[in-house]
Amino acid sequence: MTAIDPGDLFTVRGLGVIVTGGASGIGLGYVEALAGRGARVTMFDVDRQRIDSEVGRLRAAGLDVAGEVLDVTDHAALDAAVDSVAARYGTLEAVFANAGIDSGPGFVTGWAGEERPRAPQGALEHYTDQRWNRVIEVNLNGVFATVRAAARHMKMQRRGRIVITTSLAGRRVEPAIGSAYMAAKAGAAHFMHCAALELAAHGVTVNAIAPGFIVTNIGGGHAKAAEVQERMARVIPLGRVGFPADLHGLAVFLASAASSYITGQEIVIDGGWGL
């Protein structure tokens, strides 16, 4: 093991990084955290407008950020895009498999701390194949394809960091969320264990960040409503909802030398909600 200067433990300067779903919310938080500390970061996202505005804003602030319109369900395009970013950076040090969508209503409406009546439109017997398959396609198959594309490069390099955004809802049932979301996130968490074990011999670590309730644009941005945040704050032990900036430290930790002996772990970041 090479000794690391304690001053360099959390350094990400110069690292070549990809963040899927990087134009909004949690992914954008990862981009800001890493590029803000000198990493070279490319965001992949389906939302061209957001890519253009966020890349423009971050570049204007002097950060080394790029963006590509890419759907993680198009595995051939994903492979090609990962190859081209790796070629541009000359190395691929960290990949965040973060892109994800919500899955519409669960079998109750309402969030914690309020009346939660049954919601017929979210009931199992009305759950369409189309809805189930789309969530699995993005939130599970998209993660698989991202990790596979990253592994091809990182195995050759004999180093690399892969970080998957899972969810507290993959560990604990949240009945207001459609069940495909939870199945996909639980699947992604266990896939992370498999990939971590397989890639450990090649010097590549694979971990997951499992957020609780974070204010982003997911689900139409319902978490932005002040009354939703106030209600959730009452059931979250730290007394407030989370924001993408709350994940900055963990993203930097998992991409930096500070976490070099950690692999196969899902780190929950939820203000204690899961307790």
Ligand X SMILES: NC(=O)c1ccc[n+]([C@@H]2O[C@H](COP(=O)([O-])OP(=O)(O)OC[C@H]3O[C@@H](n4cnc5c(N)ncnc54)[C@H](O)[C@@H]3O)[C@@H](O)[C@H]2O)c1
Residue 216, interface with ligand X (CB under 6 A)? yes
Q: Are strands 204-211 and 94-97 parallel, antiparallel or unpaired?
A: unpaired
Tell me if 50 contacts ligand X by CB under 6 A: yes
Query: Is residue 211 at the binding interface for ligand X, with CB under 6 A as the rule?
Result: yes
The alpha carbon dihedral of 159, 73, 180, 232 has a sign of positive
75 phi, psi to nearest 5 deg: -70, -35
Closer CB to ligand X, 98 or 256, in the complex: 98
Distance CA 46, CA 74 (A): 11
Binding test (CB under 6 A) with ligand X, winner from 16, 19, 27, 135: 27
d(CA 162, CA 56): 26
Active site residues: 181
The contacts of residue 256 (CB under 8 Å, 6+ apart) are 9, 10, 11, 12
20 binds ligand X (CB under 6 A): yes
Q: Does 24 bind ligand X (CB under 6 A)?
A: yes
Beta carbon nearer to ligand X, 39 or 214: 214
Q: Does 99 bind ligand X (CB under 6 A)?
A: yes
**Residue 100 found at the interface with ligand X (CB under 6 A):** yes
Are the C-beta atoms of residues 191 and 151 closer than 8 Å to each other? Answer: no
Binding residue count for ligand X, defined by CB under 6 A: 30
Rounded Cα gap, residues 229 and 69, in angstroms: 31
Residue 45 sits in the site that holds ligand X (CB under 6 A): yes
- Token readout for 149 is 């594309």
Q: Which stretch binds ligand X (CB under 6 A): 5-13, 21-29, 82-90, 225-233?
A: 21-29
User: Interface with ligand X includes 160 (CB under 6 A)?
Assistant: no
Query: Interface mask (CB under 6 A) for ligand X, residues 55-74, using x and -?
Result: ---------------xxxx-
Task: Give burial (CB, 10 Å; 0-12/13-18/19+) of 62.
Answer: exposed
Note the residues at the interface with ligand X (CB under 6 A).
Answer: 20-21, 23-27, 44-47, 50, 70-73, 98-101, 138, 142, 165, 167, 211, 213-214, 216-218
